[in-house]
Amino acid sequence: MYERILATAAGAALLGVSVLPVNAASSDIYFRIGDGSTVGESSPSGPVSGLEIHHYDYGSSYQHGAASAAHQTLRASAGVEQHGSEPPNSWITADTEAGYSKDIVVPRGVFGPPGTLISLPLSLRFDGRVLAEGGLFGDGRTLSSVDTYFSFEVQDLDEMICGEGCRPTVLAGFGFRGYASFDTGFGAAGRESVANYYWVAEQNGATVDEDSYDFYSNEPGVKGAGDAGYAVGTGVLNLQLDTRTGHTLRLVSSLDVFVQSMANAAWSNVIGDFGQTFDADLFLPAPGGSLEGETLGVYSPVPVPGAVWGLGSALAVLVTRRRRS
């Protein structure tokens, strides 16, 4: 399951984005309005402050993206509002992407000659919230959804796995796939709310933590306002990477938040807020200190103005948790 989530996440996040060079980070924002025109921006960014875009036409959008290779930090938010005054059946989409890649060499010296076995502590966290809501002014239609893809891998470039081809050993990884949608006013079916996600963390080929949430509600004949959403938070996950001194480790991560909305004689509000989402810290065991080229993660909340979205509904509470060691 982890490999499928990770492959899906990486493919989605890199769609339309060039592959990052080593030790680089970037944020990319795309916004498409109802008349088919597209606004796009791309830039390198720091660990917390990043690229923002606010656009107002056929409704409004707020997007924020930030990435840091040094800090192993990613932030991304995307959201749109429609107010019912747009042309009929107007679609708005907002896509925010952030990613980084960097290489680190495991030092020798105090830990022994090249090839000495060593276990490196790794800490990471991932959190966010999603909301899709809407309502009818008359005999209209509203439809909104949020797709979120996230992937993180630590690869050992000096430990290859060869079969039909050769690829680096993955020492640790984290994958997330989330979806939420709200639809109302579609004939006799009434309204539908869907929210689900799945994430998994692995180290040295074994699952160490995972979580899932799945919600579905279909109310035949019921129109009017409603919502679908979820909140996710891993807390701090502590992993161990088994590698060797002198080996080169590649850390690659990507995040993609894609939201879309359609409203006809209706209002719609949709947001994927991963504005304080991911931090990872890679350490050396005592007495080694810090790794060269590795700056500790931020681990601090980054406020994103949720009030602008008129969040009037409580997000779904996590009630399902599975853990395997």
Cα 89 to Cα 143: distance, rounded to the nearest angstrom:
10
Number of independent structural domains in the chain: 1
Of the candidates 257, 270, 266, the residue with the CA atom closest to the CA atom of residue 306 = 270
Cα 78 to Cα 53: distance, rounded to the nearest angstrom:
10
Domain span holding position 142: 2-309
Higher model confidence: residue 138 or residue 69? 69
Q: pLDDT tens-digit profile of 111-140?
A: 889 999 999 999 899 999 999 999 988 778
Let me know: does 198 contact 210? Beta carbons within 8 Å.
yes
Q: Which of 151-160, 277-286, 310-319 has the highest mean predicted lDDT (pLDDT)?
A: 151-160
Q: pLDDT tens-digit profile of 240-288?
A: 999 999 999 999 999 999 999 988 888 999 999 997 789 888 888 876 6
Give the side-chain half-sphere CA count within 13 A for 233. Answer: 12
Q: pLDDT tens-digit profile of 19-58?
A: 577 788 888 888 887 666 667 776 666 656 677 777 766 6
Tell me, yes or no, whether 314 lies in a domain.
Answer: no
Q: pLDDT tens-digit profile of 174-219?
A: 999 999 999 998 666 789 999 999 999 999 889 999 999 999 999 9
Higher model confidence: residue 46 or residue 317? 46
Of the candidates 102, 104, 103, 106, the residue with the CA atom closest to the CA atom of residue 244 = 106
Quote the pLDDT of residue 83. Answer: 85
pTM: 0.83
Q: What SS3 state is found at 2?
A: helix
Tell me, yes or no, whether 66 lies in a domain.
Answer: yes
Whether the predicted pLDDT of 235 surpasses 50: yes
Tell me, yes or no, whether 319 lies in a domain.
Answer: no
Quote the pLDDT of residue 153. Answer: 96
Tell me, yes or no, whether 299 lies in a domain.
Answer: yes
Of the candidates 146, 136, 111, 154, the residue with the CA atom closest to the CA atom of residue 267 = 136
Whether the predicted pLDDT of 220 surpasses 80: yes
Q: pLDDT tens-digit profile of 71-97?
A: 888 999 999 998 877 777 778 889 999
- DSSP states along 121-166: EEEEEEEEEEEEEEEEEEEEEEEEEEEEEEEEEEEEEEEEEESSSE
Quote the pLDDT of residue 252. Answer: 96
Tell me, yes or no, whether 286 lies in a domain.
Answer: yes
Cα 64 to Cα 54: distance, rounded to the nearest angstrom:
9
Tell me, yes or no, whether 44 lies in a domain.
Answer: yes
Tell me, yes or no, whether 50 lies in a domain.
Answer: yes
Tell me, yes or no, whether 54 lies in a domain.
Answer: yes
